[in-house]
Amino acid sequence: MMKTFAELNFAGRLIAVEGLDGSGKSTQIYLLKRWLEAEGIKVYFSEWNSSELVKSATSKGKKRELLTPTTFSLIHATDFADRYERHLLPLLRAGYVVLCDRYIFTAFARDVVRGCLPEWVRGIYNFAALPDIVFFFKADLEVSLNRILEGRPKLKFFEAGMDLRLSADPYESFRIFQGRILEQYLAMADEFKFKVIDANQHVEKQQSFVRKVVGERINLARFRRRRPLPLPPPMPLETKPKEVEEDLAA
């Protein structure tokens, strides 16, 4: 049975956010990070598909549409394993609160929808411990789609699931693809104890709930720096996570 980092007696704690593209999860974890920093908490942020080890290979494969579902799955697993071993585990051992924009559940949902066997997908991630808190931001498909399109002119090829040939219309393909992913997430919600949040609500209301849960589930005083660091200047909009831009535009 998979255990959380707390159950494995790690000094730190890991919080993950999951949700469909356009659900607003990146905005929420960005706001959570800023709040924790303001509270003087030792915090580290990591996001899906960001390892320098495989980032360029993934980008090239996407552009040329060379990635099969299995290749997609293995590349993302390699990305995750690299970040897990080199970044997440050392900082969790050092007593940090680690924030992850997507965790293994993204693979459990997306890879299965793309045709990989559930048992196989879970097997290649069996080295990973479970987060101590998982927030799932459940947004209506139309809300997610509108948020994305407010931030940029069109959907991305893989984001819309166009590689699966679900529909020649990218918007209809998005609805089918993301709808199937949503079904996978909801099927996992009880198993992995997701904190499900209505992502159609105002950003402030969602963030208030996120902070309340974090404060109740984690003794934040244990993770405060002895000497709080000065807050960095606000991040320029152009350098914020892409989904943050899209939410602000919406």
In a domain, 244, yes or no: no
In a domain, 20, yes or no: yes
In a domain, 228, yes or no: no
- Least confident range from 42-51, 104-113, 152-161: namely 152-161
- Least confident range from 12-21, 207-216, 222-231: namely 222-231
pLDDT of residue 158: 85
pLDDT of residue 153: 80
Q: Report residue 205: phi and psi, to 5°.
A: -65, -40
Closest CA to 114 of 56, 48, 164: 164
At which residue do the structure tokens 């974090």 appear?
214
Mean pLDDT, the chain, whole residue set: 89
In a domain, 236, yes or no: no
3-state secondary structure of 82: helix
Query: What is the average per-residue pLDDT within 54-83?
Result: 80
pLDDT of residue 249: 47
**Distance (Å, rounded) from C-alpha 50 to C-alpha 71?**
17
134 backbone φψ class: left, alpha, beta (φ>0; ψ -120 to 50) = beta
Q: Which domain holds residue 149?
A: 13-220
Domain count, the chain: 1
pLDDT of residue 241: 54
pLDDT of residue 159: 86
With a cut of 80, say whether residue 227 has pLDDT above it: no
CATH of the domain at 103: 3.40.50.300
In a domain, 233, yes or no: no
pLDDT of residue 139: 94
93 near 11, Cβ under 8 Å? yes
pLDDT of residue 248: 45
Query: What is the average per-residue pLDDT within 67-81?
Result: 89
pLDDT tens digits, 200-210: 999 999 999 99
Whole-structure pTM value: 0.86
Query: What is the average per-residue pLDDT within 136-144?
Result: 94
How does DSSP classify residue 102? Answer: S
Give 3's contacts (C-beta < 8 A, 6+ positions apart).
129, 130
Query: Would you call 209 exposed, middle or buried from its count of C-beta atoms within 10 A (0-12, 13-18, 19+)?
Result: middle
